Structure 1
C-alpha cells in the first residue's frame, strides 16, 4: 500500500475489514464521533488513540500512521539517539550502559518495530560487553598485568562500536553490533 494520510489509511483498513464506524467504535474505546472526525481529517489523534484503532482493526500502528511528517521523523531521530547514546552513562555510573537503554527500550518498544529492534540490539550488545569486561577483570588472577590490555581493548571496542552505530542509526536507520549475545530475543511473529 502506498503512503497515504492517516485518515485514508484508517478508512482503507476499516473498509478492508468490513467494519462500519460504529462497529469499529464497539471494538475499541474510541467514540464514533472521534472516528468520523479522524476519517474527515478534522483532527490529528493522539498516539494512544491510533494504537486502540490499530488493535481494533488487528493491524500494526505503522499501517495507519504516516512517518513522512518531518516533525515525526525528527522525534524518531531523537529517540534513536537516546537509545544508542545512552550507554555512555555507563562510563560514569556502573551498569547504566545496560539499565538506561533497557528502560528506554521498555518504554518505546510498543510504539514502533524500529525502537524495539534497535533497543534489543543495544541492550544485547552492552550486556555482552559488560560480561566480557567482568571476565577480563577475572583474568587478572590467571594473567596478572596482561588483563589490562584485554580490559582496555574491550572498553575501546565498545566506545568505537557505539559511536559508529549512533551515526549509522541517525543517518541510515541501521545498526550492527558485533559480538553481541542475543539475551533479548525478538518477539515471535
Structure 2
C-alpha cells in the first residue's frame, strides 16, 4: 500500500466532508493521534481502520486505498516482453532489431515511465550492437585471426544479452543492456 497516496486521499476526503481530525476521531473511534499520523503518512493503516474511516466519511474503501489491478500488471508485462523480444526479428531482417523497438518506444514512452526506460535501453543496445557488428566486419576483412573471432562473437553475445533481459523482464521487470546512451531520458526542468 502506498502510504503517501493513502494520506493524501484521507486528508482530501476529510476536508471534503468538512470534518476536523477530532470530529473524524469521534465518528470512528480511532484516536486523533492515529489520524494525524495517517495523514502525515507516518504509519500504514490497518484494514479495520480503513473500513472505519471509509464508513465515517461515507465513502467506499476503494476511495481511500489505491488498489492495483492485476490485469494492468499483466498488460504491462506483455508490452515489456514485446519491447524486449521483438528485436529477435532483426536476426532475419537487418535493422528491424532497431526499428521495431524504436517504434514501440515512441508509441508507448508517454504511457508509463517503465516503457520509456526499457524502450530506450533496448534501442540503445541495438544501435550499439549494429555499430559493433560493422566494426567486427571491418576487423574480419582487415585483421588476421582475431578479426574472425571478433566477428563471430558479436551475434551470440547480442542474442545472449537479449535472452537474459527477456527473462529478467518477465521475472522482475528489470533490464540491463551494455550500450552507448544514444537516447537519453528527458531532463525535467523546474520553472523559475
State the TM-score, normalized to the length of structure 2: 0.64
CA contact (8 A) 1:117 1:186 kept: yes
Shift of 1:138: 1.0
Structure 1 residue aligned with 2:182: 183
Question: What RMSD, in angstroms, separates the aligned Cα atoms of the two structures?
Answer: 2.8
Structure 1 residue aligned with 2:49: none
Deviations 1:34-90 (A, max 9, x none): xxxxxx99xxxxxxxxxxxxxxxxxxxxxxxx6721111111011011000011010
Distance in 1 (CA, whole Å) between partners of 2:107 and 2:181 is 20
Displaced runs of 4 or more, over 3 A: 1-5
Structure 2 residue aligned with 1:112: 112
Structure 2, gaps ≥5 residues long:
16-58, 61-65
Distance in 1 (CA, whole Å) between partners of 2:131 and 2:167 is 25
CA contact (8 A) 1:67 1:73 kept: no
Deviations 1:8-53 (A, max 9, x none): 96x95xx9xxxxxxxxxxxxxxxxxxxxxxxx99xxxxxxxxxxxx
- How do 1:40-119 and structure 2 match up within 5 A? 68-119=68-119
Rg larger in structure: 2
Alignment: residue pair count = 137
Shift of 1:169: 1.0
Shift of 1:148: 2.6
